[in-house]
Amino acid sequence: MLINADLHIHSPFSGGTSDTIDLRRIAAGAKMKGLQVVATGDCLHPAWQREIKKYEENGVIVVDGVHFVLGVEVEDKNRVHHVLLFPDFSAADEFRERIERHSPNIREEGRPKVSLSGAEILERAIETHALLGPAHAFTPWTSLYAYFDSLMDYYGKKPSFIELGLSADSEYADRISELHSLPFLTNSDAHSYMPHRLGREFNRLEVEEITWDEIRRAIEHNRIVLNVGFPPAKGKYNRTACSSCYRQYEKEKAAQMHWRCYCGGTIKKGVRDRIDELADSPRGVHPEGRPPYVHLIPLAEIIGQALGLEYHAGIVKKRWEELSRLGSEIEVLLDINISLIRKSAPPAVADAIEAFRNGTIRIVPGGGGKYGEVILP
């Protein structure tokens, strides 16, 4: 069977997240979106663990039909973020025991800081049978390639995967030959269960059944059949830009200005420019078995643009819910016959979905922390 899995999200115990996040709301959001599996996020945090344990039965965590796997993001001593996935609570607890004395805030923070190197954290992940890979690997802060030029040198051995982040896709990442041997994960890193965040990136996996062993095998043995996510330009760190006023720069110009914007703010190197520096080839050279990458834009944003409203406006939500009666968001965007969509949506919205399918939607690239903008034809 094929399942859609979003393997990196956060709980209310990480900074910058919504207080109202709980597993029931995440499960409801996942269902509307068309996800069968979601990582819990923040699974080392004591209070969030208690929430997760409410739904655990015989080692399986299922909420309203949506399966959860234990996952967490940690920050190492070099400020690099890593995503970890655990087989069960005892593995997660064992990992926590091994890093606890190196972490000042593991009891308070959903995304704990750990004063160990990436290699030391990977070692502990392997000992506890967890999967580990660098989170949003190319973003200009808190990512591996923000501070280091080689993933293999940084870890000293092969991690389980690399998470591409919203501003990159396979075409970008496969320009770097050291990544050819790694599975790519595309996850939302959602800080909310709202449909324009949860599942905005996800992985389609081929599994026999929805169990940890099968999910692990799918990641490790080339059974990721599809990566789905933003067109890279939609990501908020795609272009080199000021993190205060979002003015965009050519990389050479930014360097000339010592990465200081005219406004006084800091200029952040965009993912596109960073990958240009790291690449050994001008195009993505896909290794055998690399799955296709499908670019997706959240439906709420497409509706918002079509109606000239913000994606969080009440009427956008109403239209989104009407369309969701036809199927999951993913089905509405990709699969459901457009004539059916026309019966359930105003003409402008149906036109916008058709434009998305035809590839005639344009994106004004994001950068410096500002998302790219969707422009309808």
Binding site for Zn ion (CB under 5 A): 81, 135, 242, 244-245, 247, 261, 263, 265
Are the CB atoms for 243 and 369 separated by under 8 Å?
A: yes
In the complex, what is the shortest distance from the CB of residue 274 to Zn ion, in angstroms, rounded to a whole number?
16
Closer residue to Zn ion in complex, CB, 117/344: 117
Which structure tokens are listed for 131?
């999967």
Tell me whether residue 264 or residue 282 sits nearer to Zn ion (CB atom).
264
Residue number, 15 or 308, with CB nearest to Zn ion: 15
Choose between 117 and 142: whose C-beta lies nearer to Zn ion: 142
Closest distance between Zn ion and the C-beta of residue 72, in Å?
11
Minimum CB–partner distance for residue 363 and Zn ion (Å): 22
Structure tokens given for 369: 């922390």
Minimum distance, C-beta of residue 222 to Zn ion, in the bound complex (Å): 26
For residue 124, give the H/E element and its range: helix 118-127
The one-character DSSP state at 12 is T
Can you list the alpha helix ranges (DSSP code H) found in 107-168? 118-127, 144-147, 151-155
Cβ distance to Zn ion smaller for residue 165 or 284: 165
Reference 186, options 128, 230, 250, 152; nearest CA is: 230
Nearer to Zn ion, 31 or 247 (CB): 247
Distance CA 325, CA 321 (A): 7
Query: Is residue 75 within 8 Å of 113, Cβ to Cβ?
Result: yes
Contact (Cβ atoms closer than 8 angstroms) between residue 235 and residue 166: yes
- φ, ψ at 220 (rounded to 5°): -80, -30
CB atoms within 10 A of CB 157: 9
CB of 304 to Zn ion, least distance (A): 26
Work out how close the CB of 73 gets to Zn ion at its nearest, in angstroms, rounded to a whole number. 5
Contacts by 257-262, CB closer than 8 A, 24 or more apart:
none
Query: Nearest approach, Cβ of 261 to Zn ion (angstroms)?
Result: 3
Whether residue 163 contacts residue 137, with contact meaning beta carbons closer than 8 Å, is answered with yes
Closer by beta carbon to Zn ion, 74 or else 323: 74
